[in-house]
Amino acid sequence: MSQTQAVYHGGCYCGATRFEVSGKPIISAYCHCTLCQRLTGCPFVHTIHFDPPAFRWTHDGGEQALELYKVKDKPAKHRYRCKECGACVASYHAQRDRWSIWGGQLKRTHETGQIEGWREMKATHHIFYGTRMLDVEDGLAKWEGYENTSTRLG
């Protein structure tokens, strides 16, 4: 990772698994796809994508602390969760060659609880909005699939 780029830290709920990302994300969006809904039980997630050189595991124990799992709908996506607390931590998409993290896993300030580096990490649009569970009136662009490669819904 470049010394001139900002570095952001994150990890699981219990702290047994940790990572860092550097630089600006490729994508930072609220994802409303049905797969994210089924995996999390939430109506949408804040997904942030990075090129491989920007992502690095930083916890002790290496692969031993992580459980790798794949779902049949996306076999190219390698998802990692903590073996201790079960929290989803990050994923790597082999076909797209990029790492994904969820905004909720990023380190927060003690004073306000806001994600550190929020200005750089905040979502800029919604993806897979056609399968949303609720309407979100936040002024951000809404896309049927990925931004600029699908129909804009709002």
13-32 pLDDT tens trace: 999 999 999 999 999 999 99
Pairing of strands 88-93, 98-102: antiparallel
Give the chain's radius of gyration (CA, Å).
Answer: 15
Q: In the chain, where are the structural domains located?
A: 7-142
Stretch (H or E) spanning 85? none
- Give the model's pLDDT for residue 62: 79
pLDDT at 2 over 60: no
The model's pLDDT over 70-104, given as tens digits with 9 standing for 90+, comes to 999 899 999 999 999 999 999 999 999 999 999 99
Enter the pTM of the model: 0.92
Average pLDDT, rounded, for the chain: 94
Q: In 3D, which of 3, 7, 96, 12 has the Cα closest to residue 49? A: 96
CATH of 7-142, one of 2.130.10.10, 2.30.40.10, 2.170.150.70, 3.10.129.10: 2.170.150.70
